Amino acid sequence: MKAGLVVDGEYIYEEEKHLTVLKTSLFFANDGFTVYDCKGQLVFRVDSYGPGPRDKGEVVLMDAHGRCLLTVRRKRPSLHHRWEGFLGERSEGQKPIFSLKRSSIIGRCGMTVEVFNSPGEEYQIEGNFGQRSCTILNAGKELVAEIKRKVDASTNVVLGKDVFLLSLKPGFDGAFAMGLVLVLDQINGDDYVQYDGAEISPTAED
């Protein structure tokens, strides 16, 4: 499999990796995440998205020590769900390394991810993030990452949607994958988005 976009080489694994993603608050949509490996070690964290679910500003992915790895930001103005990703903590004038655009019906992922400065590198996200069932495919239609419900190993019970698995194929950057999860979570937070004081369908074209 061709190596894809690298946010941080520390999170590229030689073997398939399964990360447990946990929502850190149930009081407000999109408050934050903590991400753990199979040994229970903290891998990533996102402390807060802002004062409320309608706050669509910037989301910063950090490592276990609080170092900024990736900033994702909703592009404005846009009638479409279009987000951009920036290395580290975004600065004014910085160019994005990828963009994500919604291109499907309400309730489905249907996303196209374009990687800048890398001709031909593109990803498709298919499935239903609200049900924690999504696949991320590269341009060759190879599976590079998957989002799925987590099953308790001792009871064989499927856990709630606030705890799920992010499975990574060898060679696919976990920080990039988690950045995509953050965008999907923001998009999933609204059936409709607020734009210039009016409700619009997230399936409308730019």
Please state which CATH number belongs to domain 16-194: 2.40.160.200
pLDDT of 20 above 50: yes
Residue with tokens 């924690």: 132
Separation of CA 43 from chain center: 15
In 47-142, which ranges are E strands? 58-63, 68-74, 82-87, 98-102, 111-115, 122-128, 133-137
Task: Name which residue leads in pLDDT, 205 or 120.
Answer: 120
Contact residues for 42 (Cβ-Cβ < 8 A; gap 6+): 34, 35, 36, 64
Q: How confident is the model at residue 197 (pLDDT cuts 50, 70, 90)?
A: very low
Q: CA nearest 30: which of 140, 135, 183, 176? A: 183
Q: Is the pLDDT of residue 131 over 80?
A: yes
- Cβ neighbours around 137 below 10 Å, total: 17
Count CA atoms closer than 13 A to 14's CA, side-chain side.
0
What tokens appear for 39 in the block? 């040994």
pLDDT of residue 51: 45
Residues 118-145 have a mean pLDDT of 91
pTM for this prediction: 0.82
Is the per-residue pLDDT at 36 higher than 50? yes
Domain boundaries, the chain: 16-194
pLDDT for residue 31: 62
- Interval 45-55 mean pLDDT: 56
**Among candidate residues 84, 110, 99, the one with its CA nearest the CA of residue 202:** 110
